[in-house]
Amino acid sequence: MKDGLSDSAPLWFGSIRTIVPGLLLILLLPLLKKSMTPPPMRFVLPLALLQTTGFVGFTMLALEEGAVGATAILVFTMPIWLTLMAHTFLHERLTKRHWLAILVAAVGLFLMIAPWQTHLALAASLFALLSGIAWAGGSLWQKKYGPLYQLDMINITAWQMLFGGFFLLASAMLLEDYRMNWTPHFAWVVFYNLIPVGAVGWLMWFYVLHNLPTKVAGFGSLLIPTIGVLAAWIQLGEEPDTFEFLGILFILTALVMILWPTKLFKPPTA
C-alpha cells in the first residue's frame, strides 16, 4: 500500500482499493447463485464504517505519515483490542493464561516497535492505533450481530467494502486534493490491492472470524507482522535487530499460550 502513495493521495487510494473489489464481488454474486440484495443497513453500515472506512482510511493516513514497519505493527495491536472487546461485550471468558498472553503480546509489540529508536511521527502512531481499534470494532460487530441475520459471507464482504469505500471517497473529496498518477507501477499496485489484498483478503478474514473463537482469530493475525519481518530478512536481507527478534519470540509465545489446548496448561491431577 505504501508504494501506491507515491502516485496517489492516501484517501483517494483507499477508496479505489475498496470500492472496486466491492463491485467485483457484487457482480460475482449472481454467477455463484447468491443474492445481490444488500444486508440490512443497521448491520452493514456500522460494519462498513469500522471495518473498511476506519481501518483502511486510518491505515492509509498512517502510511502517508510514517514508516511501514512500525505502522504495520501498531495496526496489528488489533488482537489485543479485539480480545478485550470480546471479553467485555461478547462475554468470552478470559482465563489467567489469556490475560498473561495479552501481556506477553503487548511486550512483544513494544519490543518490535522499539520507540526509543524508531522515528515514527506522532500522527502516524495515532492513525495506526485508530486503525487497529476500528478493525477490532468491526470484527466485534460482525461476530456479535452477523449470526443474527444468517447472511452469505461473500454478500456481507462485498457490500461492506462498497459502502465503506464510498464513505472513504466522500472523505477524500472533502479533505484531499485529487491526485492519481497512472503509471505502470501504480497500475500494478492498484491491481494487487484490488484482488489479492482487497477481495480475497477480506473474504479470508471474514471466514476465519466466522469459524474461530474471537481471541484465536485475533491473535492468529499477529503472525502477519511477524512473518513480514522474517520475509524481509529472507528476501530483502533486512536482518531483524535484537529487539525485533525478542519481539517475535514474545509474540510467538503469546500465540502458543492462546492456541494451545487448555488441558496442556492444567496441572496433572492425582
pLDDT at 118 over 60: no
- Average of pLDDT values for 165-191? 88
Confidence of residue 25 (pLDDT cuts 50, 70, 90): confident
What pLDDT score was predicted for residue 166? 96
| Residue 28 to residue 158: CA distance in whole angstroms | 9
Other C-beta atoms within 10 Å of 118: how many? 15
For residue 191, what are the contacts with CB-CB under 8 A and spacing of at least 6? none
Which string of DSSP letters, residue by residue, matches 7-54?
Answer: TB-HHHHHHHHHHHHHHHHHHHHHHTT---PPPPHHHHHHHIIIIIII
**Cα-only R_g, the chain:** 19
Domain boundaries, the chain: 2-261
Confidence of residue 134 (pLDDT cuts 50, 70, 90): very high
What mean pLDDT do residues 190-218 have?
Answer: 67
Question: How far apart are the C-alpha atoms of 182 and 222, rounded to whole Å?
Answer: 33
pLDDT digits (tens, 9 = 90+) for 60-74: 888 787 666 666 677
Rounded to whole angstroms, the Cα distance separating 263 from 257 reads 12
Residue from 131, 159, 121 nearest 11 by CA: 131
> What one-character DSSP code corresponds to residue 194?
I
Residue 34 in grid coordinates: 447468491
The pLDDT-based confidence of 265 (bands split at 50, 70, 90) is very low
Q: Which band of pLDDT confidence, cut at 50, 70 and 90, is reported for residue 95?
A: confident
Residue 214 near residue 139, CB atoms below 8 Å: yes
For the chain, report the end-to-end CA distance as a whole number of angstroms: 56
More confident residue, 26 or 265: 26
pLDDT score of 108: 81
Dihedral angle computed from the Cα positions of residues 129, 135, 136 and 139, in that order, rounded to the nearest 10 degrees: 180
What is the SS3 assignment for 180? strand
As a whole-number percent, the residues of the chain with pLDDT over 90 amount to 20
User: Rounded to an integer, what distance in angstroms lies between the CA atom of residue 135 and that of residue 129?
Assistant: 10
Chain position carrying cell 483502511: 56
Question: What average pLDDT does the segment 143-158 reach?
Answer: 85
- pTM of the complete model: 0.76
